[in-house]
Structure 1
Amino acid sequence: MPNDTVNDFNHQVIEEFRANRGRVGGYFEGARLILLTTTGARTGAEHTTPVAYLPDGADRILVIASAGGAPWHPAWYHNLLAHPEVTVESGAFTYRARAEVLKGEERDQVFARAVETDAGWSEYQRKAGRVIPVVALYEIAGGPPNINAGSMGEAIKVVHDAFRRELALIREAMSAVTEGGSPLGAQLRVNCLTFCHGLHNHHTGEDLGLFPFLADRHPEAAPAVARLREEHERIAALVEALRTALDTADPATARAEVERLTRELEAHLTYEEEQLLPLLDA
């Protein structure tokens, strides 16, 4: 594909991604996607590229420098080798990150996990005739997260929708596993555990920050806040049940726990939005 065509395609995806806070259609529909902004190795100018990613626990995400199976590394990879500090846009959040290229056995294990979820990575590797690099992106700590929203209420909705999208992807992958009779893959387990960790952090932040704020500013919301706290405890129990199911590596049990968590969480998110967003955006 000519460079001008690639640039036009990327520009369209970037605009759609930002307008819809991470949700895009077309070629990337249903994919886990970030916008990765790197500093040019030669020019020093910033370049933003849509890149697929893999969840990988609490501290990092992973990106693969496949270039669609081309025999050369993509430009963004050369840029981060020269300037490892990058910017990541996830749709809900924007943050600075440190890039680290994985080596040896760790790289091979991660790439094998990627192939397990999508055989297209293996085809890219075959076509490329090179070892396709895998890069870990570690968020650089520095204050509260930068949520892509214009108000507190909008921020809550943006984060909730990000959880909804990720859970939908997990449910889709879990259904494919159970219907096909395949074992529970390593990357799918990582996706579930990463989701569980993110949800725990979100609810902890609400318990310690948002709910006390509302108690001080809006005492009339006390009954709703009390209910939300109780729901956090029930959801935490469901998260632990899912973690236990993942340890058993039984796809049917894990899928059942994902469905239980989905039902409880969706009801919780909807109630929270109904009760709190009008107060936060007043």
Structure 2
Amino acid sequence: MAALLLPNRKQSMPNDFNQQIIDEFRANAGRVGGPFEGARLILLTTTGARSGAPHTTPVGYLPDSDRILVIASAGGGPKHPDWYHNLRADPLATVEDGVFTYQARAEVLTGDERDAVFARAVEADPGWAAYQAKTSRVIPVLALHQVAGGPPNAPSWGAALKLVHDAFRRELALIRDEVDRSGAGLGAQLRVNCLTVCQGLHHHHTNEDDGMFAALDGQRPDLAPTLARLREEHQRIAARVARLQQVVGAPDADPAEVRREVARLTIELEAHLAYEEEQLIPVLDATG
């Protein structure tokens, strides 16, 4: 069974098993091993509809631009999972993605939008259709919209930079694997995955240029050559991102060409991230 589906199976598994996954997730910045390795996973904390107590559940998700999507499959069981009922009663939840912890508002998708998103999920992994076939209920699809958040879950700014970088590394590795398994065509969800990581890179580099780099310009003039190089690399990576967006956005996108562009972006980005970490992590940790 595909890794993406595995986290949703846990909705019906014993609480002690869930707790093992939660502990491993939090100890390893969102990474878990075993059969769940490589799955896109969040920890979703909802407020109990009856108890009013917080409940944390590991849940698989789908990227979707500036929101994420979760599917209340419960492994194809006859009842909606508890976290779904909790969100219907109180749509505000806490999301942990391994890098950030943030507040989100849940929206239950309906009608054509729900059907289109679920079809995307099935195209990416037929296991979703198998879950739907096992139950008479229509499996709900929800969007989680971030409404508030804070800095990365890290003990220092240098560690925070490495944490964010590693998240991009992991997502690109997942996309490379998905493209390799995509066959002759490029599925709609895979297109969304590619475009979402492109958007994330754009936001990250823009925030660095306007925030961290601007602050270091004033505090550490000796870093001028380093920051100039990093800004130039941002521009080159932006061109790679634009090219990937162009290839992915073509109606007849060729998976082989997408694979090449993802590989090129990965190589250039990895060199950039490694240099930035080497040069700036000691500075960030020294300045606090």
TM-score computed with the length of structure 2 as normaliser: 0.93
The Cα offsets for residues 80-121 of structure 1, whole Å up to 9 and x where unpaired, read as 000000000000011000000000111011001111111111
CA shift at 1:126, angstroms? 0.7
Query: Matches of 2:12 and 2:132 in 1, distance apart?
Result: 25
The aligned residue for residue 22 of structure 2 is: 14
8 Å Cα contact 2:11/2:74 also seen in 1: no
Query: Matches of 1:246 and 1:83 in 2, distance apart?
Result: 37
SS at match of 1:72: coil
Query: Matches of 1:48 and 1:3 in 2, distance apart?
Result: 11
Structure 1: state its 5+ residue gaps: none
Which of 142, 145, 154 in structure 1 is aligned with 2:159? 154
The Cα offsets for residues 133-162 of structure 1, whole Å up to 9 and x where unpaired, read as 0000000046xx331111110110000000
The Cα offsets for residues 19-55 of structure 1, whole Å up to 9 and x where unpaired, read as 0011001232110000000000000000000000000
The amino acid of 1:147's aligned partner reads: P
Distance of aligned partners of 1:2 and 1:234 in 2 relative to their CA distance in 1, 3 Å threshold: closer
The Cα offsets for residues 199-244 of structure 1, whole Å up to 9 and x where unpaired, read as 1000000000000111222222111111000000000000000011
Q: What percent identity do the matched residue pairs reach?
A: 67
Q: Is 1:137 equivalent to 2:137 in the alignment? A: no
Structure 2: state its 5+ residue gaps: 1-8
What is the root-mean-square deviation of aligned Cα atoms in Å? 1.6
Which of 85, 89, 105 in structure 1 is aligned with 2:92? 85
Query: Matches of 2:82 and 2:205 in 1, distance apart?
Result: 38
- Structure 1 runs, 4 residues or longer, greater than 2 Å off: 1-5
The amino acid of 1:233's aligned partner reads: Q
The aligned residue for residue 278 of structure 1 is: 282
The amino acid of 1:183's aligned partner reads: G
SS at match of 1:21: coil
The amino acid of 1:62's aligned partner reads: L
SS at match of 1:128: coil
8 Å Cα contact 1:87/1:95 also seen in 2: yes
CA shift at 1:263, angstroms? 0.5
CA shift at 1:12, angstroms? 0.4
Distance of aligned partners of 1:33 and 1:205 in 2 relative to their CA distance in 1, 3 Å threshold: same
Which of 245, 250, 260 in structure 2 is aligned with 1:256? 260
Which of 32, 40, 46 in structure 1 is aligned with 2:48? 40
8 Å Cα contact 2:122/2:128 also seen in 1: yes
Query: Matches of 2:168 and 2:142 in 1, distance apart?
Result: 24
The aligned residue for residue 115 of structure 1 is: 122
Query: Matches of 2:285 and 2:228 in 1, distance apart?
Result: 20
8 Å Cα contact 1:95/1:146 also seen in 2: no
Q: Is 1:55 equivalent to 2:63 in the alignment? A: yes
The aligned residue for residue 135 of structure 2 is: 128
SS at match of 1:50: strand
8 Å Cα contact 1:171/1:258 also seen in 2: yes
